[in-house]
Each structure stands twice: as C-alpha cells, then as structure tokens.
Amino acid sequence: MNTDDLNFAYKVRHALNEKLDDLPSSTTDRLAAARKAAMARKKADAPARAHVQGTVFAGVASQFFLAPRAWLGRMSVVIPLLLLVAGATGLYHFEQEQRIAELAELDAAVLSDELPLSAYMDHGFNTYLTQSAQ
Amino acid sequence: MATDKELNDFLEHVERRAFKQAVYAVRKEESALDIVQDAMIKLAEKYGDKPAAELPALFQRILQTTILDYFRREKVRNTWVTLFSGLKPGGDEHEDFELLDTYEAEQGSSAAESSADQVERAQILDLIDEEVQKLPARQREAFLMRYWQDMDVAETAEAMGCSEGSVKTHCSRATHTLAESLKAKGIKL
C-alpha cells in the first residue's frame, strides 16, 4: 500500500470517527449498559479461584480432600499394574508346576516298572524274550 | 492480566466502533446492539483474565464470530418465515422499508439544525459511511480492523481466520473501491 492509499485510509478513519459522535444517546446508553453487564460477568482471576477453593475445604477437610487426591490418582494407576504383574507371575508359576508334576508322573511310572531301564537296551534280553514267547 | 479498570476502559474505547462494525454487517441497529453486548459478555466471561494487550484481537475475533452466528440464526429464521409467508399477506418487506426511512430521518434531523457547512460535512460523512457499508464484507472487515481498530496485519489475519497476504489484498482493494466510489460522487478526501 503506497502513501496516498494510507493517507486516504486515515482520512476515511477520521470521517468514521466523526460519525461516531453522532450516535444517538439511546444507543450510547445501551452500549454503556452492555459494558456494565459484561463487567459484572468478568472471569475471576486465577489466584482468586484457588483461594475460594481453599476456603471451601477449610481445616482438616482440606488436608483430606486436597492432598490425598493426588496420591489416590497415582495409586489408581499403580495398583492395577501391580495386580497385573502379580497375576502373570502366578500364572507362569502354576503352569511350571503343572508341567513338572506331569513329567514327574511319567518318570515315576517308568521307574516303578518291574523291568529296569537297562533291560530294554540289552539285545540279548530282547532275543530271550522272543524265544521264550515262541 | 487485565484488571477490571483495564477491561472496562478497553470496552469503552471499542464499543462504539464495534457497534458501527456490527451495523455495517447486519444493517439493523437493534441486532447490532445485541451482537456487541454478546461479544462484550463473551470476552469478559471467557477472556477476562487475559493480558490487556491481547484484548483487541480477542474481541475482534469474538465480534466476527457473533456476527456470523447472527447470520446463521437469521438464515434458519428466514427459512421458517418463507415457509409460512404464503399463509398471510406479506408485510415484512414493508416494515424493513419503514425502519430504513426512520433511520435516515434520524440522521438527517440532527444535521438539519446545523449551518449549511455542517450540513454539507454531515452529508459527506453519511456518504462515506454508506460507501463503507457497501464494501464487500471481507474487504470491509479487513479495512476497519486495520485502519479503524488499529490492529496490525497479523492480528487482523488471526481475527479473520485468513493469511496475512489476504488481509493486505482485502485492504488494498477496499481502499481503491472506496476511493473510486467516493470520486464518482464528487467527494475527494
């Protein structure tokens, strides 16, 4: 935008500002009332809000509601995680025990048999069995 | 953080121009007053704790949004009015003309009491006012925010939701359109 354009724009601005003085009093009164209504509903400052919260839970109640709330929040995450880890570990151990018990049963069955294990490896004994069967 | 006084001073400083901006957009003084009131309340309620330096851009953004909301509501209302207008003789257009006549008469009446020069000056101001109102909406918004509300290009772009380049283009076009239309009416600023 060149200087002439800027000058023109500021002359228009001046004219518009002059027009503002012609606004009827009913309009300016209404605008002032609107401003007051807006000011009455102004957002409270942040420190003021914190102060109000503190006074609502005064004394022992404030310690009960405010401080442990953060601790409870942390616990609500930590406790389920701990339960999950404990559950998974328990399940793993249970499965291991089951497997060991099954293997032990098999071993016990083999060991408690009448024939010793080395007998199955002896070819002469196999021949004896075959012949005695005939 | 804006104090009560800073917010009050800011609103007092911008309320008349905001009203005229709303009148340019919606062309109804009563609706424009409602829009400015809504915008002021929204600013105070939601952004009353913001620094004073941020208030102009925030207020313009809220004002533009409130004007857009008004047009949306009007569109819905007009749909229903159009649906039921066949059931009774239409008097709405006639009422609009009456409002316009009343508005023009009010503007003229204050000037009529003044001297000849003042009348001529008032007429020129009215013509400039009319030509600003006739500008395309986006050009008018950009022009008014930049040169009437003293907002910089970045703030205007943020309030209008467009790029800084678009703001410059809108401003340039608005200035040229205004200059040509005023020149055509024999007014040279």
| pTM value surpassing 0.90 | no
User: How far is CA B185 from each of CA A5, A106, A127, B128, B180, rounded to the nearest angstrom?
Assistant: 18, 112, 132, 10, 9
Would residue A109 count as lying in a domain?
yes
At A49, the pLDDT band (50, 70, 90 cuts) reads very low
Mean of the pLDDT values across residues A75-99? 93
Would residue A79 count as lying in a domain?
yes
A52 near B24, Cβ under 8 Å?
Answer: no
Which pLDDT score is estimated for B173?
A: 93
At B88, the pLDDT band (50, 70, 90 cuts) reads low
| DSSP, residue by residue, A28-40 | HHHHHHHHHHHHH
User: Which residues in chain A (39-68) have CB-CB distances under 8 A to chain B?
Assistant: 39, 41-46
Instruction: Extract the tokens encoding B152.
Output: 């910089």
Question: Which one-letter amino acid corresponds to residue A97?
Answer: E
Would residue A20 count as lying in a domain?
yes
- Cα distance from A72 to chain B (closest Cα, Å)? 31
Query: Are residues B124 and A30, on separate chains, in Cβ contact within 8 Å?
Result: no
Would residue A69 count as lying in a domain?
yes
Give me the sign of the Cα torsion angle B49, B50, B51, B56. Answer: negative
Counting Cα atoms < 13 Å in the Cβ hemisphere of B13 gives 13
Residue range B101-131, pLDDT digits in tens: 444 444 555 444 557 777 788 888 888 988 9
Would residue A134 count as lying in a domain?
no
A119 near A125, Cβ under 8 Å?
Answer: yes
Question: Which one-letter amino acid corresponds to residue A37?
Answer: A
Residue range B40-82, pLDDT digits in tens: 999 999 988 888 888 888 999 999 999 999 999 988 888 888 7
Q: What is the ipTM of this complex?
A: 0.72
Would residue A15 count as lying in a domain?
yes
Let me know whether A98 and A76 are in one domain: yes
Which pLDDT score is estimated for B36?
A: 94
A-chain CB neighbours of B146 within 8 Å are 9
Helix %, strand %, coil % of chain B (to 5)? 85, 0, 15
The domains of chain B, with CATH numbers, are 1-89 (1.10.1740)
Query: Domain span at residue A67?
Result: 55-113
B59 near B36, Cβ under 8 Å?
Answer: no
Most confident of the ranges B6-15, B85-94, B120-129? B6-15
How many structural domains does chain A have?
A: 2
Which pLDDT score is estimated for A42?
A: 84
Q: Does position A91 have pLDDT exceeding 50, yes or no? A: yes
B-chain CB neighbours of A27 within 8 Å are 19, 29, 33
Which pLDDT score is estimated for B99?
A: 44
